Structure 1
Amino acid sequence: MNKLSVSQISTLRWDLEADVHAYYERGFRGIGLYRPKVEDFGVERAAELLAEYSMAATSLSWAGGFTGSDGRTFEDAVSDAIAAVIQAAELGAETVIILAGGKNNHIKNHLRRVLYQALCRIAAVASEHGVKVAIEPFHPGCGEEWSFVNDFDATLDIIERVDNPALGLVLDTYHLGMECDIAHAVADIVPHLHLVQLGDGRHCPHGEMNRCLLGDGRVPLTDLMDLLFRNGYQGPLEVELIGEDVEHLGYDSLLDHTRAYLSHALPLHC
C-alpha cells in the first residue's frame, strides 16, 4: 500500500503540532515537512512528535536554488542543501525535495553544469545518511523563478549523469499531470521516482500556483495513479494544495474533502 501523506504547505498557517494532530485524525500516516515550520518547532522536538504518532516524514521541502536566482551564492545553496539532508536524516524524512533554481540569465550549458556539480555533492552526502534527494520539475508557466528544469527529459538526463541511486525525481501532478505525453513517460520515470505529489488545477499553471481541490480540476488523477501503480510505483502519495481556489476554505474542510476523495478514488491504496 502506498503511504498517504499531506504536505504542510497545504495548511500553511498551522504549526507542526496542529498539522500532525489534524492529519493523524483523518487517517494520514505521512507528512511532507516544510523546513520553516520544522525549524520554528525545533528539529529534535519534531522528531519526537512524529515518533509519538508513528507518522512518517515522506519529504522535506525545499533545498536548491543553485543558479543564484534567489540571491544566494552557489556554495551557500549547496551548503544549505547538505544541511537539509542531514536534517532529514535526524527527522527520519525519506526524501529532500530539490529545486534547481531559475535561469538567472545563464546559458543552458552553464545551468546544466551548475546543477550537475551541486547534485553530485548533495547525492553523495545523502547516500552516506540513508536519505534520498529528488529533483522536482516545475511547469514553466508558474515556476521559472524556481526551476529551469521543466520536463521529464531534462530531469532524467541529469539523474543519469549524476548516476547515484540516492538521486531521483518528484512527480507533482499539478505541474506535469496535464501534459499530453505523460502517459508515455511513466515507464521511464517510475524507476527513478521517489515521491508523487498530488495536486489538481482548473487550468494549466500560469502565474502564481493555483491548485484546486483534488478531483475538481483537469488533472486525470485516477487514471494517472492507476498508470503509476501498474508500472510498479509503491512510494508515498503526498497531497499539496495551495492557491486562490482553496485559500477561502478552512483547513479542516480541505483535509476532510481530501481524505474523502482519496478513499473514493484510490480505495485499494488507502
Structure 2
Amino acid sequence: RLAIEELAPAAETAGVTLVMKPSKAEASFLTTLRDTLAMLDASGCPNVGLAVDLWSFSEELISLQSGTSVFERTKIVSVADQAKSISSCYERLPPGAGDLPLTGLLRLLFESGYRGEIEFDPVGQTVSSMGYEELLASLRHYVDDVQSELNVVEYNTRRSKKPLAMAEVFPR
C-alpha cells in the first residue's frame, strides 16, 4: 500500500497509469481479485487500476456476482488458456487450445464496457514446440473467431483513430 501511495501521485503527474496484478499464492501477497480491488479502493488513486489475468483468475471472475465492477477498474487483460490434461501448472496455452471459457469471459468484458488493452500471453513447453508461425496463426484464428462471434470493433489508438477490427492488429 505504501508503494502505491508514494508512486501514484508521481505517475499521475507524468500521465502514467499503474496497475496491480494479483498472482498465485506463492508469488504475491495479492492473491485474489477481491483483495486487489479492496486495495485499489483503499488507495483512492484514480490512475491505479487492475491487471486481470484470465488464465489465473477465470474461476474467480465466474464466481463473482458481477464482473462489471472488476472490469470498471481493469486497465489490461492477459489472455491464455489452460488444459486440465497438461501436467504442468505453468502451461499458458494459446486461447481456444484449452478448457477455460475465454470467449464467455471476453464477452462479459466487452459487455461491461471495457475498451482497454488485451494481451495474449501463451508460454510454456506446448507453445515452444508450436513454433512462432503456428502460434501467430493460432492467435490470429482465435481473434478472428472472437471478433466475429462478439461483433467487436476496436480502435488502434497508437496509430490512428481509424476503426480497426481486433484481428487487424495481427498482420497476415
Q: Is TM (by shorter chain) over 0.5?
A: yes
> TM-score scaled to structure 1, two decimals?
0.52
For 1:196, what is the secondary structure of its paired residue? strand
Q: How does 1:196-211 map to 2 (within 5 A)?
A: 196-203=77-84, 209-211=90-92
Work out which structure has the larger RCO, using CA pairs closer than 8 Å and 6 or more positions apart in sequence: 1
- Which residue in 2 is equivalent to 1:222? 103
- Which residue in 1 is equivalent to 2:134? 253
Partner Cα separation in structure 2 for residue 206 and residue 248 of structure 1:
16
- Which residue in 2 is equivalent to 1:27? none
Give unpaired runs (5+ residues) of structure 1.
Answer: 1-115
Contact in 2 for aligned 1:137/1:147 (Cα 8 Å): yes
Shift of 1:254: 0.5
Partner Cα separation in structure 2 for residue 193 and residue 240 of structure 1:
17
Contact in 1 for aligned 2:81/2:99 (Cα 8 Å): yes
Is 1:240 aligned with 2:125?
no
Partner Cα separation in structure 2 for residue 180 and residue 168 of structure 1:
16
Shift of 1:266: 2.3
Query: Which residue of 170, 180, 186 corresponds with 2:67?
Result: 186
Give unpaired runs (5+ residues) of structure 2.
Answer: 153-165, 167-172
- Which residue in 2 is equivalent to 1:139? 24
- Which residue in 1 is equivalent to 2:54? 173
Shift of 1:172: 0.8
Residue identity matched to 1:122:
L
Q: How does 1:1-270 map to 2 (within 5 A)?
A: 116-140=1-25, 144=26, 146-179=27-60, 181-182=62-63, 184-203=65-84, 209-267=90-148, 268-269=151-152, 270=166
**Cα distance change on mapping 1:120 and 1:204 into 2, 3 Å:** farther
Partner Cα separation in structure 2 for residue 156 and residue 117 of structure 1:
16
Shift of 1:264: 1.0
- C-alpha RMSD of matched pairs (Å): 2.1
For 1:165, what is the secondary structure of its paired residue? coil
1:186-225 CA distance string (max 9 Å, x none): 1211111101111111139997521112101121111111
Partner Cα separation in structure 2 for residue 235 and residue 203 of structure 1:
29
For 2:123, what is the secondary structure of its paired residue? coil
Partner Cα separation in structure 1 for residue 88 and residue 63 of structure 2:
22
Shift of 1:184: 2.4
